Every structure is written in structure tokens, then in C-alpha cells.
A and B are shown apart, each in its own frame.
Chain A
Amino acid sequence: MPQAAVSTKRGLGTTERRDLWWVEPLAVALGLLGFIIYATWAAFQGNHYYFGPYISPFYSPEVFGDSQHSWFGPVPAWWPAFLPFSPALLILWAPGGFRVTCYYYRGSYYKALWADPPACAVGESRGGYRGERSFPLIIQNIHRYFLYLAVLFLFFLAYDVWKALWFTDAAGAVHFGIGVGTIVLAVNVFLLGSYALGCHSMRHLIGGRHDELKNAILGRNCYNCVSALNRNHMRWAWCSLFWVAFSDVYVRLCSMGVWTDWRII
């Protein structure tokens, strides 16, 4: 195809656009980098991740660890001493992989963090381009497997909310109750659920793969619900990202004694 370039100006950031096209990628970059920095820091802490009946979602499920939530007790003796240990490091790859391979995040970090393109109709610096056709980005096609894991994690996190309803008093008796932390963890499950269930791969698997929706595995209503969540997938992605970090902050500050967890019931 002969390419007769209309404008001779080419290169990173060249555009005739007059609007503030760089604001959106900048905001996305700051949001994502802020989250990555906080989540990495929090995951390496290995402490202050539980408080009363609450456990931070960064640390759940706690496969090995010191809290009452741990499945198989404390750090196993065979854990190599040279490797840092934190219960979060064992599991965070799964939700992390889910977000990294999410169609929405892919589209936005290719722009914000990789400038390919920096924004719509804005010039790029790189000549070569392979897209998601070949290694490494072809791996993004594995997204549906991370979805399966994410759905499993939703059950674990929902169970954490259930546990967050039972408080132990000074005498050791267990009572039903609701604290602000319970609500924080419940909102987290709601937002993560809306994000994960509105996933594009979910939409495909639940019915989109059929040309006739009568063949959809759980019926057309389920497909329509997933599609409705999917229409706002970007919003659910950001709200759930913010809230999962906030849930960790909440549990952490309560555990450190900085915040007081108010009991509602």
C-alpha cells in the first residue's frame, strides 16, 4: 500500500489535537503506578494484615501465615530462608494477572505506560509493531484462565465477609456483629464481583460465543446481566481497584491502632 503521508510531522506526541489529550493517559498512569507501588509495599510488609475478624484482601486466602485465617498454619519450615515471605506474595499473582490481562486495562496501559499510541490520533515514537499477535503479548490471550481464578477468589473474599460478622469478646465468647470493617470488606466483594462478572471473557463464555442466545449456558438473562455489567467495565475496574487498596489500608491502620474500628451492631 503506497503511503503518502499527509503531514510530514511524525514522532512521539505529534498531533493537531487541541484538547488536553494527555490528561487521560496521565491520570491512568498515575492511578496504576500508585496502586502498583502501594500494593507491592503492602504485600512485602507481612504484618498488620489482620485485625479482629478482618483480613486484608491482599492477604486472602492466607495459605500460610500467623493469623487465625491461615489455612495451613505458620510459614512452613521448608520455606527457603533467602526468599522473603509474606502470605500476600503467595497469592497476589492471581488477581494481579487478572488485572494485567484484562481487556480494559490492556487498552489503557498500552496508552498510558507504553505510549502505543500515547492517545488517539497522537504520534508514536516506535517504528516496529507486533501487537498481541506474537510473543510476548500473545500471552494476554490467557485472560480467561485468570478469570476462573478470580471467580474462585470471590468466594474466598465473600467467606472473609462472613467471618467479619463474628466478633470475639474479651471473655472469649463469639457474637454476631457488624463493624465498619465488615462493611468495607463487603463493599470490596461487591465491587470486585461487579468487575469480574462483567469481564469480556465472562461475557463470551456465558453466552456471547453463541450466535443464538437460546444456547447460552445459563440462559439469556444471565448473558444480559453480564453485558450490563460489561458496559461499565471501566468504572467497575477503577472502583474495585481503589477499594481493594482502601480495604488493605483500613485493616492495616486498625491493626496498627491508628484507626478505631467502630461497631455498628
Chain B
Amino acid sequence: MTSATFSIWRGAAGEGKFFKYTTEISEGMVVLDAVHKIQAEQANDMAVRWNCKAGKCGSCSAEINGIPRLMCMTRLNQLPLERPVTIEPMRSFPSIRDLVTDVSWNFRVKKQIKKFKPRPPDVADGSWRMQQEDVDRVQEFRKCIECFLCQDVCHVLREHHKHEEFIGPRFFVYVAALEMHPLDTENRVEELAKAKGIGYCNITKCCTKVCPESITITDNAIIPLKERVVDEFYDPIKRLFRAIRGQ
């Protein structure tokens, strides 16, 4: 058996520091296993949030060697173990204790997004007809597990703290799933441009890089939404036509 050292941020309400723990590791272990082992053997009071251990619940988000990742999906053999592996809570959200952050801001943001509003049913039995390809396009967005790693890495939240004016990549994905849905009739473009702050995104694609579900957040969700915003607000010829048509 070999051992590895982990440098884990511990503290509460933003005050804290890194503590080093050395523990034995074995083949196939993930970071969350190591954290649990340390918790069991050396630090019983260490707070860590987790649930499925299968990359599906989105609870165990943290920053491992500085990169936002799921602890349960990061194998130790993917990490350089010569130096201590740093494990920190997500930085874009207020820290509660140790590795646990308060992500409730995300749920408040989600509530403020206009809900799905389908057109009237296509047939008398109350059902609709959709093309597979149209559904396929939004299907990618529905893979989201709400781990909020994309929100964590996004510099608009992480560095510039625009939480009041910017909903973040996770919710652009959510809006895209609704806005591009073939049945949906709601229009969310104006609020995207204004209250939801899509213009703050400078398409640096960090969100796409960290998404554990490999959702092409920037290219397939954010940029198409930005283009829809351009249609309504920044395209001079389109505006002219709308003015002529009196819309």
C-alpha cells in the first residue's frame, strides 16, 4: 500500500486554512474515498457533502488542485501525488464549513426564470408532435446534474461577484433548454439581455471545460442565446425592419 498527502481547507464562514493529512491509498480510489478515509480515521468532524458517489447527484463539487471537479469522479491515479493534493470548497459561493458551501443562491436564481409554456396541444387527445432532431438539440442541456462547477469556475461570479446581475452558465443552459424547446412559446430574450446579464459572459469557455456531463455550454447554449439577443437588440437592420413594420 502507498500513501498520499492531502491538503484540505478547513474552517467556517470563510475563515480557515489548509490542514495536511496523510493516508493510505489503494488502486481505484477517488478523491472522495480519500476524504472519507481521512474523515473516518483522523478528522471525524470534517464536513463534506456527498450523496451518490457516481457523478450523478452533483453534491461533491470541490476544487482539486485548483480545478473545479467532482470529488467522486476524480481518480487518484489522475493526480500527481508527489505533492499534497489540495482540496478546497467552491470559491464562488459562501463557505459554510470545511468543504461545504452554501449553493442556495442557485435555487433562488432558478425560481426567477420563466417556466416552460407549451403551445396548445397539436391533436385532440391533448398530445403534441415534435421532430426528434429538435428534441435532440435541447436534450444535451437536460443532462445537467446541478453540480454548479460551471458557476464556480466562471470568472464573472468567481472574481467579479456579479451574482445579482448575472445568472451564470448553469442557468444559461437551463434557459436554452426552455427557449429552444420546439413546444415552448415563452420569450426570455429580453430578460436574458437585461436582468440575467448574458452580456457579462465573455465566452472564455471555462464552464464548458469543467462540466462533468460534457455539456457544450458555451457553444451550444450561451452563444446561440447571445445570437438571439443580438436579433432583438443589436442588429440595426432587423431593428429597422421592425420599426417599419411597426412592431
Pick the interface stretch among B23-31, B87-95, B139-147: B87-95
Establish whether residues B134 and A212, one from each chain, have CB atoms under 8 Å apart when the complex forms: yes
Q: A214: which B residues are within 8 A, CB to CB? A: 131
With A4-B14, A116-B155, A129-B156 known to touch, is A107 a contact of B182 (CB < 8 Å)?
no
With A4-B95, A120-B209, A200-B227 known to touch, is A141 a contact of B234 (CB < 8 Å)?
yes
Establish whether residues A132 and B158, one from each chain, have CB atoms under 8 Å apart when the complex forms: no
Q: When each residue 221-244 of chain B gets 1 if its CB lies under 8 Å from chain A and 0 otherwise, what string results?
A: 001101111110111000000000
- Cβ contact of B205, chosen from A107, A200, A220, cutoff 8 A: A107
Establish whether residues A6 and B9, one from each chain, have CB atoms under 8 Å apart when the complex forms: yes
Does A247 reach chain B (CB closer than 8 Å)?
no
Establish whether residues A211 and B182, one from each chain, have CB atoms under 8 Å apart when the complex forms: yes
Smallest CB separation, B109 vs chain A (Å): 10
With A16-B66, A18-B66, A204-B224 known to touch, is A121 a contact of B230 (CB < 8 Å)?
no
Establish whether residues A129 and B231, one from each chain, have CB atoms under 8 Å apart when the complex forms: no
Q: When each residue 123-135 of chain B gets 1 if its CB lies under 8 Å from chain A and 0 otherwise, what string results?
A: 0000000010110
Complex CA distance for A3 and B91, rounded to whole angstroms: 9
Q: B159: which A residues are within 8 A, CB to CB? A: 117, 123-124, 129
Does B74 reach chain A (CB closer than 8 Å)?
no
List which A56-91 residues lie within 8 A (CB) of chain B. Answer: none
Chain A residue at minimum C-beta to C-beta distance from B88: A6
Does B33 reach chain A (CB closer than 8 Å)?
no
Q: A15: which B residues are within 8 A, CB to CB? A: 66
Chain A residue at minimum C-beta to C-beta distance from B155: A117
Does B246 reach chain A (CB closer than 8 Å)?
no
Does A257 reach chain B (CB closer than 8 Å)?
no
Establish whether residues A17 and B94, one from each chain, have CB atoms under 8 Å apart when the complex forms: no
Chain B residues within 8 Å of chain A by Cβ, number: 62
Complex CA distance for A213 and B138, rounded to whole angstroms: 12
Establish whether residues A129 and B200, one from each chain, have CB atoms under 8 Å apart when the complex forms: yes
- Cβ contact of B219, chosen from A121, A123, A230, cutoff 8 A: A230
Smallest CB separation, A54 vs chain B (Å): 36
Complex CA distance for A144 and B231, rounded to whole angstroms: 10
Q: B65: which A residues are within 8 A, CB to CB? A: 16-19
Q: B14: which A residues are within 8 A, CB to CB? A: 4-6
Tell me what chain B mostly uses at the interface: helix, strand, loop, or mixed: mixed
List which A194-240 residues lie within 8 A (CB) of chain B. Answer: 200-201, 203-204, 208-209, 211-214, 220, 230-231, 233
Establish whether residues B63 and A121, one from each chain, have CB atoms under 8 Å apart when the complex forms: yes
Establish whether residues B234 and A6, one from each chain, have CB atoms under 8 Å apart when the complex forms: no
Smallest CB separation, A188 vs chain B (Å): 25
Does B40 reach chain A (CB closer than 8 Å)?
no
Smallest CB separation, B223 vs chain A (Å): 5
Does B46 reach chain A (CB closer than 8 Å)?
no
Does A258 reach chain B (CB closer than 8 Å)?
no
Establish whether residues A5 and B156, one from each chain, have CB atoms under 8 Å apart when the complex forms: no
Establish whether residues A121 and B153, one from each chain, have CB atoms under 8 Å apart when the complex forms: yes
- Cβ contact of B227, chosen from A17, A201, A233, cutoff 8 A: A201
Establish whether residues A120 and B202, one from each chain, have CB atoms under 8 Å apart when the complex forms: no
Does B68 reach chain A (CB closer than 8 Å)?
yes
List which A93-138 residues lie within 8 A (CB) of chain B. Answer: 103, 106-108, 110-111, 116-117, 120-121, 123-124, 129-134, 137-138
Does A2 reach chain B (CB closer than 8 Å)?
yes
Complex CA distance for A203 and B229, rounded to whole angstroms: 15
Establish whether residues A124 and B155, one from each chain, have CB atoms under 8 Å apart when the complex forms: yes
With A17-B67, A138-B234 known to touch, is A121 a contact of B158 (CB < 8 Å)?
yes
Chain A residue at minimum C-beta to C-beta distance from B209: A120
Question: Can you list 16 A-B contacts with CB-CB less than 8 angstroms, sorted by A residue number?
Answer: A4-B14, A4-B94, A5-B91, A16-B88, A18-B80, A103-B223, A110-B203, A120-B209, A121-B158, A129-B159, A132-B199, A132-B202, A144-B227, A201-B230, A211-B182, A212-B182
Given A16-B66, A16-B86; 13 other pairs, CB 8 A cutoff: A6-B14, A6-B16, A17-B65, A17-B66, A107-B203, A116-B155, A117-B159, A121-B63, A121-B153, A131-B156, A132-B202, A141-B230, A141-B235
Of all A-B residue pairs in the complex, the 5 with the closest CB atoms, nearest first, are A4-B14, A16-B66, A133-B199, A17-B66, A120-B206
